[in-house]
Amino acid sequence: MRREAQAVILALLGGAMIRISVDGSYLRYLKPGMFIFVLASGVFLLVLGIIGAWSDGLIKRGGAETADASHDHDHDHDGGESVIDDGHGHGPGGPRVAWLMLLPVISIIIIAPPALGAYAVERGTTAAEPAEAIAPLPEGGIAEIPVADFVTRAVWDEGRTLKDRPVELTGFVVPRDGGGYDLARLSLNCCAADAVAAKVNLKALKSELVPDQWVRVVGKWVPGGKLNDPRAIPVFQVSELEAIDTPKEVYE
């Protein structure tokens, strides 16, 4: 790999990282807290690439130009090492595997994969997370709470705080084995590779739904069902359902 290419690859990767952190689409892959780290390392890579592209021309004159000029057209058959020899049989050029760093750039800019959805929920971990102390729901009419919070209240607190309270949940639709639908929301601990789903079973639905459709539902917890089991899925009696656009923060 030649030096100009290295610099361009680093700058492109840096640029891609800056772009997805600034436009907020990094939230499809990471937690909000990673923003500053993605942005800062993107800036570092971009600056390193630009300075590298600019100053390598200067360094290259330091005794290597003859070798460089004579090998210019066959730089790719020597096992991927740079043609610029630094006396160790290996140049400051990178190995051929460094080209792979273009893959994340292409994935981020061209493919822009969506956030995880129903497919990941069906195959991944679904868990009702236990909690130490459960506070009462906020006062007032309809309580808007995260899906995982609802599941924890229903499964680990015998639904004490949920009895006869209308609740609003936001999540996406996952078809259930044997008919019907679940409402699910994924949460990340660090990145999408460790996503864990919280699920509720939607009852009394009047309409047909499409997998991965985002919805806001209002309804009540249905008493009964398994308790104190991390694999329990509580039941939710739906009174209102509204299809919505995918929110900016897809994970809880």
Partner 1 sequence: MSQSASTKEKSGLGPVEFIIAGLVVLLVAQRWIVQWLDDPAISNFATIFVSIVLQALPFLVFGVILSACVAAFVPPSFFAKALPKRTGAAVPIAAGAGAFLPGCECASVPLAGGLMARGVAPAAALAFLLSAPAINPIVLASTAVAFPNEPQMVIGRFIASLGVALVIGWLWSWRGKGEWIKPLVRPHTDGLSKWSVFRVSAQHDLLHAGGFLVIGGLAAAVLNTIVPREWLDAVADEPILSILALAVLAVILAICSEADAFVAASLTQFSLTSRLVFLVVGPMVDVKLISLQVGIFGRRFASRFAPATFVTAVVLASLVGWWLL
The β-bridge partners of 152 are: none
Identify which of 192, 201, 140, 194 has the alpha carbon closest to the alpha carbon of residue 169.
Answer: 201
Compute the least distance from the CB of residue 216 to partner 1, in Å.
23
Site residues for partner 1, 78-117, by CB under 8 A, read 86-90, 92-104, 106-108, 110-111, 113-117
Q: Does 190 bind partner 1 (CB under 8 A)?
A: yes
CA angle 236–240–242, rounded 5-degree value: 110
Q: Does residue 241 contact residue 215 with C-beta atoms inside 8 Å?
A: yes
Nearest approach in angstroms of CB 140 to partner 1 is 30
Q: Which 116-155 positions form the footprint of partner 1 (CB under 8 A)?
A: 116-120, 123-125, 127, 129, 132
DSSP annotation of 30 reads B
Binding mask 29-68 for partner 1 (x = CB under 8 A): xx---x--xx-xx--xx--x--xx--x-xxxxx---x--x
For the CB of residue 237, give the shortest distance to partner 1 in the complex, in Å. Answer: 27
User: What single letter denotes the amino acid at residue 90?
Assistant: H
Residue appearing with tokens 């991944």: 124
In the chain, the N- to C-terminal Cα span, in Å, equals 43
Residue 129 or 168: which CB sits closer to partner 1? 129
CB count in 10 Å sphere of residue 15: 17
Kindly state the number of chain residues that form the binding site for partner 1, as judged by CB under 8 A: 84
Q: Which residues pair with 237 in a beta bridge?
A: 203, 220
Nearest to partner 1 of 133, 164 (CB atom):
133
Task: Between 58 and 164, name the residue whose CB sits nearer to partner 1.
Answer: 58
